[in-house]
Amino acid sequence: MTNQIARPGKIIAIHLSYASRADQRGRRPAHPSYFFKVSSSVAASGGTVERPAGTELLAFEGEIALVIGEPARNVSLEDAWSHVASVTAANDLGLYDLRANDKGSNVRSKGGDGYTPIGPDLIDARTVDPHDIRVRTWVNGELRQDDNSAGLIFPLAQFVADLSQHFTLETGDVILTGTPAGSSVIVPGDVVEVEVDAPNASGAPTSGRLVTTVTQGDVPFDKALGSLPTVDDTQRTEAWGSAEAAGLEPATTGLSPDLRAKLEQAPTAGLSAQLRKRGHHSCFIDGVAANIPGTTIVGTARTLRFIPAREDLFKSHGGGYNAQKRLFDAVGDGEVIVIEARGDATTGTLGDILALRAKARGAAGVVSDGGVRDFEEVVRIGLPVFSQGAHPSVLGRKHVPWEVDVTIGCGGAAVQPGDIIVGDGDGVIVIPPALVEEVVDAALAQEEEDAWIAEQVEAGHPVDGLFPMNAEWRAKYEASRA
């Protein structure tokens, strides 16, 4: 064990690395992804961190920090750990109020003064097993995070080897290796402690407790200089760790349990027949089929509109935290994402990562009049998707994600947010909310009648006069019900 490090030349942080955190977020990366933190954000144990005026979502992230010893460039996975001199504790503090504006770079959201406390002591990396290093975090004495490097999606050495492919890791550089589940919001007055140790190694070496106290700032951001902090329920949910922890009401579908159960029993053929009787002839989303044979969907619509691809518009609206990503992050339990892709099946409108996110959020499914990337993986994930089928191309080939929760056209049908979407083997239909109770009750009644007629046909009766029923057969039917 050695003393605290000097300010590093580079700080490289991992976006998402622990299985527990990935499961909490509902998305698991195939490869590590990174961002830089400024060296001026480094702080020592016992210091303070300021929550800026006008913000609410400062969050802690207890992490294992790796300190590079001998410079590393194009090192192998087998040799990578030998380039790590020390291991210690870090707190990768972040301000979710600025996260959406940073679009993944985290320059402002994680670059503030004091946003990277490190220490207090360093553990000699040669004395510990990189697959058995523990990280724990306490807030006001309460244990909030407790995980082990064995729970990482990617081993610690992989970060060193991977990064060394792209640039030289120099002596003293720090890699922040991601945080496990349990990260949440802290407020002025809170005291956060992070400890990294190796309890199963000889001597049970430890970094000691890295202590940081939260204070309240009084200088607001100047709107004339740049984008201002902004929060929504999606950011609150991710900062706190869950909607419940954030004090938010669980998302509702607009469907009572009884009504949902009725809709799950009613076939789209019967529902569409009842809509036609009431003058609704344009309720069909044409040209789509289920990715999982036999699957059904029932839910209220959340809408997403794509416009035709144009280079300047994709540059301004297609990258970063765009409309598509925002909707998949915000879809509620039992809701159906309906995508207007102008009937163009020659590119994907979602893929496996967004399907995983929708599944984790409890979405009932997705309906798109375009194509789907990663088709087989989306099937494996188990998210019901009705689309025009598989296509390997990326979104930007044909589309720009433009806006959410507006009236759209999907497969020839007008769809508004809150409309009722029902899909089965016959296709997908759209039901206006004001008609849904009446339509589903009538459809189920017709199903019961049709089942009785089928029994008569199976018994050898001709369909003439029976289907549809004349007065004589109607009387027999009513008598059977009585």
Binding site members: 351-354, 373-374
* Helix 257-265, helix 436-458: angle, nearest 10: 40
Q: What length does the chain have?
A: 482
Sign of CA dihedral 72, 74, 80, 82: negative
CB 93 within 8 A of CB 58: yes
d(CA 273, CA 340) in angstroms, rounded, equals: 25
d(CA 385, CA 392) in angstroms, rounded, equals: 16
Q: Where are the alpha helices (DSSP H) in 70-197?
A: 77-80, 99-102, 156-164
Binding-site residues for Mg(2+): 374
Residue of 328, 324, 466 whose CA lies nearest to 401: 324
d(CA 356, CA 262) in angstroms, rounded, equals: 27
CB 95 within 8 A of CB 57: yes
d(CA 16, CA 436) in angstroms, rounded, equals: 42
d(CA 434, CA 437) in angstroms, rounded, equals: 8
Tokens of 336: 């159906």
What are the CA-CA distances from residue 187 to residues 145, 334, 404 (Å)? 17, 33, 32
Kind plus residue range of the DSSP H or E element containing 297: strand 297-308
Binding-site residues for substrate: 351-354, 373
Rounded to the nearest 10°, the torsion over CA 355, 429, 270, 254 is: 70
Residue 164 sits at φ, ψ, to 5 deg, of: -70, -15
Tokens of 82: 């030998």
Query: How many angstroms separate the most distant Cα atoms in the chain?
Result: 96
**Residue 459 pairs with which residues in a beta bridge?**
none
d(CA 395, CA 353) in angstroms, rounded, equals: 13
**Residue 368 pairs with which residues in a beta bridge?**
339
Q: What is the DSSP letter of 112?
A: S
